[in-house]
């Protein structure tokens, strides 16, 4: 028996179940990968080895404990010692038979030792694998947690940036506004002051001129009277020889002066008494208005609620968030993300607006504000929201007799230039309507109604059809009748007029075999269809014999004058 067989036999005797098929290679590798020199763990003859075998035979298992064999080795430390690998059996003073037996014992023991350590390590490896998997899951969870936290940090950074930026902008707006207000008010007050001063100057000038003229006249009379007095006194004091001549001269002069004529001096009540009338209530009113002028809010009263992509556009919905604010009308603006200039898109009382003619895969920014009841100023703008559409705009087929299309091919006019004189169906240029979307027809002009008129969707577009009131199609007529696969439903919608908006919404309900006993038969494809018009809607299931993921839309009008926009 060779050494390998000896090992297997010994292991088999111990009933350790380590030599099963598929596990031999483990023991053989453990044994064959080592030479004699590497296993020179010398036992003191046979009793140490037999003692270990006795322990193993007692079935004291070493399950899951790689250190157990080490403890077993240490318990026999008085019988085991290590020697230098360079020593030879001759240096141990053993004869050949003892050496051969000892080497055999040592090899078997070492192989058993290695095998048990391998089993323990295998058992540990399972636990290690489980632990490793837990560690990996923990690491992955930590990475996800860190990623979520980093995203929240970015959100916090954006929120902080918005608070800081909006606060800085609001400060600048307030300072600029009140500086302008102060300058304007100061200018207006100065202008009013100058106007009033000019009025005072005019009244003063107009009133003083007559008084100055009267004063000059009186002063002239006083001077004449003084001259006459001096001349009379001189005539009286002169000598007797000259007295008569001077008295005659004085008398003649006195006759020319009207000493009994006095100029009229106006009474004080007739003379202007300039004063200023100042309304003290203006200051109180100004104080009241100034104290109530302007306000600062942490949130705009209106915010954009939802951005829904539509074919060639975006549906914008908004709502008020301030319960104390009562809006009278709204104002919606938009711009490209690469631009800085906003454009008005809508002004009105509605809380949603369909913005068309947008380029697909292009980011746009939207904002909305409102004007309160009885107010003239607009509220602060909402936080701008970014939206886009990945859906190309719906288009009608060009070149259909009896229809004129707009430049964008999304609006069709039923003309009276049909060569055949009969109605024909105008289809979309491609099956561009997908389930889950909303298809909208808006009537911008109306002609005379006809029961054959139709607006709806279909699976195909045959070239010879005159109406959508046929198989593989659902539609609404201008009189409000609803047709499914050519059959009229009992439910009816309002008649179509100018301004009417007809919407189609569809969702897949089920795909079932037509015959469960024969799966090779055709299948039934069921769509849940909702048609809305005005404040009413009709809901029904549409059964098709084929699976479709996109549909055509179309319209047909017998009489001219109808104009329809699709989006």
CATH of 302-387, one of 2.60.40.10, 1.10.10.60, 3.40.1030.10, 3.10.20.30: 2.60.40.10
Q: Is 20 exposed, middle or buried (0-12, 13-18, 19+ CB in 10 A)?
A: exposed
Q: How far separated are the first and last CA of the chain, in Å rounded? A: 92
**DSSP SS3 for 478:** coil
Q: Are 52 and 70 in contact (CB under 8 A)?
A: no
Structural element, H or E, at residue 472? none
Paired strand residues for 330: 348, 370
Q: What's the rounded Cα separation, in Å, for the pair 458 and 556?
A: 13
Q: Are 353 and 335 in contact (CB under 8 A)?
A: no
Q: What's the rounded Cα separation, in Å, for the pair 21 and 123?
A: 18
CATH of domain 403-566: 2.60.120.920
**Residue holding tokens 């409102």?**
370
Structural domain boundaries of the chain?
A: 3-140, 302-387, 403-566
How wide is the angle at C-alpha 538 spanned by C-alphas 535 and 539, nearest 5°?
Answer: 135
**pLDDT at site 101:** 52
Q: Are 534 and 493 in contact (CB under 8 A)?
A: yes
Q: What's the rounded Cα separation, in Å, for the pair 67 and 558?
A: 96
Can you give the pLDDT of all 567 residues of the chain as single tens digits? Answer: 443 444 445 445 444 443 333 434 433 443 444 444 333 333 333 444 444 444 444 433 344 444 544 454 454 444 444 433 333 333 334 445 544 554 555 555 555 555 555 555 555 577 778 888 888 888 888 889 889 988 999 989 988 998 999 899 889 989 999 999 999 999 999 999 999 999 999 988 888 888 888 888 888 778 877 877 777 777 777 766 666 777 777 777 766 776 667 778 788 888 888 888 888 888 888 888 888 888 888 889 999 999 999 888 999 999 999 888 889 999 999 999 999 899 999 999 999 999 988 999 999 999 999 998 888 889 989 999 999 999 888 999 988 888 899 988 899 999 876 656 566 889 999 999 988 889 999 999 998 988 889 999 999 888 778 888 989 999 999 999 999 999 999 989 999 999 999 999 999 887 766 555 555 555 678 899 999 998 899 999 998 888 888 899 999 998 889 999 999
**pLDDT at site 120:** 53
How wide is the angle at C-alpha 24 spanned by C-alphas 22 and 27, nearest 5°?
Answer: 135
**DSSP SS3 for 548:** coil
Q: What's the rounded Cα separation, in Å, for the pair 423 and 449?
A: 12
> CB within 8 A of 514, min separation 6: which ones?
521, 522, 523, 524, 545
Q: Do domains 302-387 and 403-566 have the same CATH topology?
A: no
CA distances from 165 to 168, 169, 333, 368 (A): 5, 6, 21, 19
> CB within 8 A of 301, min separation 6: which ones?
320, 321, 322, 325, 327, 370, 372, 379, 380
**pLDDT at site 367:** 96
Residue 342 C-beta-side C-alpha neighbours within 13 Å: 15
159 dihedral zone (left: phi>0; alpha: psi -120 to 50; beta): alpha
The length of the chain in residues reads 567
Distinct helix (H) and strand (E) counts, the chain: 7, 22
Q: What's the rounded Cα separation, in Å, for the pair 512 and 279?
A: 86
**Residue holding tokens 């403890």?**
71
**pLDDT at site 455:** 93
- DSSP, res 551: B
Q: Is 418 exposed, middle or buried (0-12, 13-18, 19+ CB in 10 A)?
A: middle
Does the predicted TM-score (pTM) go above 0.85? Answer: no
């Amino acid at each position: 028996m060779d050494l390998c067989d000896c090992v297997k036999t010994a292991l088999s005797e111990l009933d350790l179940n380590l030599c099963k098929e598929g596990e031999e290679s483990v023991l053989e590798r453990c044994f064959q990968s080592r030479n004699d020199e590497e296993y020179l763990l010398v036992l003191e003859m046979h009793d140490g080895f037999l003692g270990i075998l006795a322990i193993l035979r007692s079935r004291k298992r070493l399950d899951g404990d790689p250190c157990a064999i080490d403890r077993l080795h240490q318990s026999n430390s008085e019988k085991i010692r290590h020697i230098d690998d360079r020593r030879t059996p001759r240096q141990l003073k053993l004869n050949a038979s003892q050496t051969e037996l000892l080497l055999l014992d040592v090899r078997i023991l070492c192989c058993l030792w290695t095998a048990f350590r391998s089993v323990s390590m295998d058992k540990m490896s399972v636990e290690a694998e489980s632990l490793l998997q837990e560690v990996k899951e923990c690491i992955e969870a930590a990475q996800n947690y860190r990623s979520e936290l980093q995203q929240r940090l970015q959100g916090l950074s954006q929120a902080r940036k918005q608070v800081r930026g909006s606060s800085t902008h609001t400060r600048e707006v307030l300072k600029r506004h009140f500086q302008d207000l102060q300058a304007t008010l100061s200018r207006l007050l100065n202008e009013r002051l100058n106007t009033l001063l000019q009025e005072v100057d005019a009244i003063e000038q107009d009133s003083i001129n007559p008084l100055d003229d009267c004063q000059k006249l009186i002063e002239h009379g006083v001077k004449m009277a003084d001259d006459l007095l001096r001349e009379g006194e001189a005539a009286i004091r002169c000598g007797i020889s000259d007295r008569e001549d001077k008295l005659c001269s004085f008398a003649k002069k006195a006759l020319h002066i009207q000493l009994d004529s006095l100029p009229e001096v106006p009474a004080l009540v007739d003379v202007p008494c300039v004063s200023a009338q100042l309304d003290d209530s203006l200051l109180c009113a100004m104080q009241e208005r100034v104290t109530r002028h302007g306000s600062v809010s942490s949130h705009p009263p209106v915010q954009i609620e939802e951005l829904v992509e539509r074919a060639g556009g975006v549906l914008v919905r908004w709502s008020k968030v301030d319960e104390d604010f009562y809006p009278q009308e709204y104002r919606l603006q938009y711009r490209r993300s690469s631009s800085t200039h906003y454009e008005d898109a809508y002004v009105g009382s509605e809380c949603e607006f369909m913005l068309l003619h947008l380029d697909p895969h292009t980011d746009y920014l939207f904002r909305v504000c409102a004007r309160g009841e009885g107010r003239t100023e607009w509220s602060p703008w909402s936080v701008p929201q970014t939206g886009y559409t990945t859906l190309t705009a719906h288009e009608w087929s060009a070149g259909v007799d009896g229809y004129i299309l707009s430049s964008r091919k999304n609006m069709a006019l039923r003309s009276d230039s049909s060569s055949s004189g009969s109605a024909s169906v105008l289809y979309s240029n491609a099956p561009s309507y997908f389930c889950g979307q909303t298809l909208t027809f808006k009537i911008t002009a109306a002609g005379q109604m006809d029961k054959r008129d139709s607006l709806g969707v279909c699976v195909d577009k045959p070239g010879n059809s005159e109406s959508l009131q046929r198989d593989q199609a659902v539609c609404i007529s201008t009189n409000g009748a609803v047709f499914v696969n050519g059959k009229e439903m009992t439910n009816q919608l309002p008649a179509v007029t100018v301004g009417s908006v007809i919407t189609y919404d569809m969702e897949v309900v089920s795909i079932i075999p037509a015959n469960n006993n024969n799966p090779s038969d055709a299948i039934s494809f069921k769509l849940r269809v909702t048609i809305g018009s005005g404040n009413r809607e009709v809901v029904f299931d549409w059964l098709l014999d084929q699976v479709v993921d996109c549909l055509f839309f179309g319209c047909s009008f017998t009489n001219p004058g109808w104009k329809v926009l699709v989006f």
